[in-house]
Amino acid sequence: MVGRHQDKRQPGSFSLEKCCLSTSILPLILFCCPTPTTHDDRCPGPLRGSKAGLRRALTPLPTLFLLPGCNSASCSSKLQSGEAVKCKGEKGARLSLLSGELCRAPEALLTDGIPILPRGLWHQLVEQWVMASQIQDRLTTDQDLLLMQEGTMMRKVRTKTWKKLRFFRLQNDGMTVWHARQADGIAKPTFSISDVETIRKGHDSELLRYLVEEFPLEQGFTIVFHGRRPNLDLVANSVEEAQMWMRGLQLLVDLVASMNYQEQLDQWVREWFHRGDRNQDGRMSFQEARRLLLLMNVEMDQEYALSLFQEADVSQSDTLEGEEFVQFYKALTKRTEVEQLFEHFSSDGQKLTLLEFVDFLREEQKEKDHAPDLALEFIDRYEPSESGRLLHVLSKDGFLSYLCSKDGNIFNQDCLPVYQDMTQPLNHYYINSSHNTYLLRDQLCGQSSVEGYIRALKRGCRCVEVDVWDGPGGEPIVYHGHTLTSRILFKDVVATLAQYAFQSTDYPLILSLENHCTWEQQRTMAQHLTEILGEQLLSTTIDGLLMDTLPSPEQLRGKILVKGRKLRTIEEVEVEEEEEELDKDDRSELDPDPYPVLDTQVQPESQELVSGNKDSKVLACPMACLLICGHILVHAPSSIPVSFFLSNQDCTTILCPDLSALVVYLRTAPFCSFTHSKENYHICDISSFSETKAKNLIKEAGNEFVQHNARQLCRVYPSRLRTDSSNFHPQELWNAGCQMVAMNMQTAGSAMDICDGFFRQNGGSGYVLKPEFLCDIQSTFNPEKPISPYKAKTLLVQVISGQRLPKVDDTKERSVVDPLVKVELFGVPEDTRQQETDYVDNNGINPYWGQTFCFRVRVPELAILRFVVKDYNWKSRNSFIGQYTLPWTCVKQGYRHISLLSRDGTSLHPASIFVYTCMREDLEVDES
């Protein structure tokens, strides 16, 4: 149904933004006619205004006519050949509209036609409808989706031993899949299409490959979800059924991904109608509407809810259908605060002229000199009416569309692509790094899986960790040594890296090797790296680049670098043994060395031995016998040079030359002191620190640590006491210029929110350029006593309102959130602060706060801003609802929407909060 509403500003004209299509009425066939006519008695919606006024409004442009039609073959063939079609349709027939028909429609006047809108206005309306209705249309035309709606028995596979039959069925909304134990059993939701990232074939499933003797891989497939949600492995009864589900699911995933904000919102409204209509009769009673309000996270006075219901019920049928429900939803989500803002800048309260919109962009949105060009661009992009675009004016709906768009987002769109200089040495960048990348859960008994590497790489991680140990059959394995974590093959990890290393970004990937293998299996490791990675592996220095300078991310694009131990000379061994004794005395008893090697406790990497200059001599020993610690002999093949890389009282591991040769630029080195590193270490040497050691060094010698990180790379890893694989906050380490702050990416929380938010910038490349004062080897900056070379700034944040917040617990139908917003600022210690709003009672759909906070920031270059929405609970801790985190340097000023993310970092669309931000330089404020 096309609703027609007179625009009060211009009698006889029509406002497109007030016209909307019913979610339950399908489009009819369209035709063009240069001569407008009127048929008020045929108009499916209320027509207001005179016929003469309507004719004047439509005369300047060719007019489109709406004609009842059908999906018969004869009508379709006539339409494609350009003939006039005078079919009034079949009662109850499902009608469809193909975008190509708009261009081929005949230009003849049809006596049964009904004038609707000027061509341009109608085209835009049709395009929006076509995208929003594609899913519903495909549900009745696509054979795969039809079969999926009937349901299929499939085997759900969780582990090698847990494999059970379940009945899976696509729901009629086309957006959710439910499952039951039997075809006629009680079904429950399994997943939403919007939660699905992609569909993989059985051959690409790590779990199904282990069960290849039980199930043919062709009958299996994997549903991969966004965030940290475990994959769903399914095995169909036949190859045809598996392919049917794979094609159908991927089709729905692609359709959802192609929707813009408004189309997603339309689909969201359609889903709510489906959930609220309990008896599925296409109508919603007032009792169903009241229940729906609770589902939508709002508790409303019954009289007020009834008034909104009756106002939307224009048919006076005591039920809401299609268009009526849309109006009811619009009344529920009315944005009074946006209307007030619009009217403040509009001279007539109805539209923003070009000059008024320029003033808004310049004064409030801080677009400065770009405001005039942006105003024209935004009007053309977001104004729904063609007449408005031609006159360069912005309606209320266009204004709201702009504020809800990517251009109205708080994250500066200029910072989303790669915008930083990528030609500086590696040590000038923060590098998105992972710890225990192979783990999906905790580090004591969690599952090891190549999926951990896939997820990390998709998140933009550019440094992954591989703990390698001797495995059965001569094949090295990866797991957390001397724990109950499961094992995976090293060669499978390498194959996964080869496949996924550069899918998200082509900037270099660093492979941090924790090598605990014997000589023979090290050689196998080197073979796998060389053969599987091929040209992706960097095995030699870059032509023309001296070893006294690290290469840049730009020079290393498409390359995988091995970080690990490298052969060194006898002279270096003697020196390092003395240094290790000093290092042992400096260790903290509360943070012992995290990795056991050969049944003895040694610190990883901090005790690693590295090679010297290229021209240093490496001795060869025919007997290959070497005295270790004065009393232990180690025997090895005579071809091995007198080199080894790790010793600890009574054990030694010998480094294989083949593996050593693959370490080019990132040679691990033990840390003794900043003075020793400055005097003895090469630019390519990299030291590792536990979080405890690193934090102590920042407190004791913050400036020296900054200078150390300006010279060479460093890596910081979590304490061994974090057996649950929790994370420390990376900000404190970034303040000192530490490049590789390794995170347990499998564990959600505020620390990972900060990491994800920080690396969202610069194209998600995993490389973010450090501030200049952290790249200067003569820097005087001390993160504990910061004096920024730039001016301090003041940030004003007004938290205005929230929109469509989700429930904390979906299982509690009558539970409604009491939301509040906490604004957190992370940076140097003096800048780290947080403030929060009051809570709003029982309203998750459109809460209003209107509270302003002020933050004075000494070092804005290191600041990170985080918004957290929580559900107030006086009995216990406030429950998490959603969050969004971004760097200070990427904050866009003005009135901005913030699209909330879940605990796992996935979108909570359409949940958002509306804020105003403003930055001022050198403004002293009373922070009390």
480 belongs to the catalytic site: yes
pLDDT higher than threshold 80 for residue 450: yes
Q: Is 563 helix (H, G, I), strand (E, B) or coil?
A: strand
What is the pLDDT, as a whole number, of residue 592? 38
The reported pTM is: 0.78
Determine the pLDDT at residue 100.
Answer: 33
Give the count of beta carbons closer than 10 Å to the beta carbon of residue 428: 23
- The DSSP letter of residue 565 is -
Please list, in sequence order, all residues whose beta carbon lies within 8 angstroms of the beta carbon of residue 330, skipping any fewer than 6 positions away: none
What is the per-residue DSSP string for 305-371?
HHHHHHHH-TT-SSSB-HHHHHHHHHHHT--HHHHHHHHHH-SSSSEE-HHHHHHHHHHTS--GGGH
Decide if 728 contacts 719 (C-beta within 8 A).
yes
Q: Give the residue from 456, 460, 546, 544 showing the smallest Cα distance to 493.
A: 456
First to last CA, the chain: 57
Please provide residue 21's backbone torsions phi and psi, each rounded to the nearest 5 degrees.
-95, 145
Helices (H) and strands (E) in the chain, counts: 25, 37
Q: Tokens 């079919």 identify what position?
A: 87
Q: Which two tokens stand for residue 602?
A: 């040694």
The string of DSSP codes covering 370-407 is GHHHHHHHHHHHH---HHHHHHT-EEHHHHHHHHHSGG
pLDDT value of residue 158: 93
The DSSP bridge partners found for residue 856 are 794
Distance CA 901, CA 760 (A): 13
The backbone torsions φ and ψ at residue 907, rounded to the nearest 5 degrees and listed phi first, read -70, 140
In percent, the amount of the chain with pLDDT more than 90 equals: 60
Give residue-wise pLDDT tens across range 767-808: 999 999 999 999 999 999 887 666 789 999 999 999 999 988
pLDDT at residue number 549: 84
Taking the C-alpha atoms of residue 634 and residue 648, their distance in angstroms, rounded to an integer, is 13
Q: pLDDT-based confidence at 134, cuts 50/70/90? A: low
Q: Are strands 463-469 and 477-478 parallel, antiparallel or unpaired?
A: antiparallel
Residue 669 reports pLDDT greater than 70:
yes
Q: Inform me whether the pLDDT recorded for 762 exceeds 60.
A: yes
In which element (H, E) is residue 469 found? strand 463-469
The 10 Å CB-count burial string (b at 16+, else e) for 689-721 is bbbbbbbebbeebbbbbbbbbbbbbbbbbbbee
Residue 896: strand, helix, or coil: strand
Average pLDDT over residues 111-140: 48
Q: How many residues does this entry show for the chain?
A: 928
Helix/strand/coil percent split, the chain, to 5: 35, 25, 45
Only one residue has tokens 């107030």, namely 872
pLDDT score at 789: 64
Structure confidence at residue 139 (pLDDT): 84
Tokens, residue 680: 């003895």
179 is an active site residue: no
List C-alpha distances in Å: 480 to 201, 228, 439, 509: 29, 20, 8, 22
Write the DSSP string, 594-623: SEEETTEEE-TTTT------TT----B-TT
Token pair of 88 as six digits: 């009034």
pLDDT computed for residue 37 by the predictor: 37
**Under 8 Å between Cβ of 726 and 443:** no
pLDDT of 790: 66
Asked if residue 687 lies in contact with residue 660, where contact means CB atoms within 8 angstroms, the answer is no
Ordered DSSP codes for 694-750: HHHHHHHHHHHHHHHHHHS-EEEE--TT-TT-----THHHHHTT-SEEEE-TTS-SH
Per DSSP, 26 falls in state P
Residue 691 confidence class, pLDDT cut points 50, 70, 90: very high
CB 519 within 8 A of CB 656: yes
What mean pLDDT, rounded, does the chain reach? 80
pLDDT band at 78; cut points 50, 70, 90: very low
- Catalytic pick among 179, 435, 528, 708: 435
DSSP string, 76-95: HHHHHHT--------TTPPP
The answer to whether 231 and 165 are in contact (CB under 8 A) is no
- Burial zone of 9 (CB within 10 Å; 0-12 exposed, 13-18 middle, 19+ buried): exposed
219 burial class (0-12, 13-18, 19+ CB within 10 angstroms)?
A: buried
DSSP conformational letter for 449? -
Q: Which of 203, 226, 274, 480 is catalytic?
A: 480
User: Longest C-alpha distance within the chain, in Å?
Assistant: 108
Strand partners, 854: 796
Burial annotation 626-660 (CB, 10 A radius, 16+ → b, else e): bebeeeeebebeeebbbbbbbbbeebbbbbbbbbb
Answer whether 485's CB lies under 8 Å from 444's CB.
yes
Backbone phi and psi for residue 436, each to the nearest 5 degrees, phi listed first: 50, 50
CB-CB contact of 522 with 659 (8 Å) = yes
H/E stretch holding 870 reads strand 864-871
pLDDT of residue 166: 96
Query: Is the confidence at residue 809, as pLDDT, over 90?
Result: no
> Per-residue confidence at 897, pLDDT binned at 50, 70, 90?
very high
Phi, psi (5° rounding) for residue 158?
Answer: -105, -45
Which has the closest alpha carbon to 905: 462, 499, 455? 455
| Listed residue (377, 410, 417, 406) closest to 394, CA to CA | 377
* Residue 587 pLDDT exceeds 60: no
In this structure, the strands spanning 907-921 and 793-803 are: antiparallel
Q: Among 94-98, 467-471, 679-683, which stretch is predicted with the lowest mean pLDDT?
A: 94-98
pLDDT at 903 over 80: yes
Each residue of 826-836: pLDDT tens digit? 999 999 999 99
Beta bridge partners of 743: 434
Does position 550 have pLDDT exceeding 70, yes or no?
yes
User: Cα angle vertex 405, ends 404, 411, to 5°?
Assistant: 100
Q: If residue 515 lies in a helix (H) or strand (E), which one and from where to where?
A: strand 509-515
- The tokens describing 21, both together, are 């299509």
pLDDT at 70 over 60: no
| Nearest 10 degrees: Cα torsion 176, 178, 183, 185 | -140
What pLDDT, in 10s, does the model give residues 705-717? Answer: 999 999 999 999 9
Q: Residue 174: pLDDT band by 50, 70, 90 thresholds? A: confident
Q: How far apart are CA 279 and CA 273, in angstroms?
A: 11
Residue 508: pLDDT above 60? yes
Residues contacting 211, CB < 8 A, separation 6+: 157, 160, 163
Q: Which CA distances in Å does 70 have to 89, 95, 130, 136, 219?
A: 4, 5, 17, 17, 39
pLDDT at 580: 53
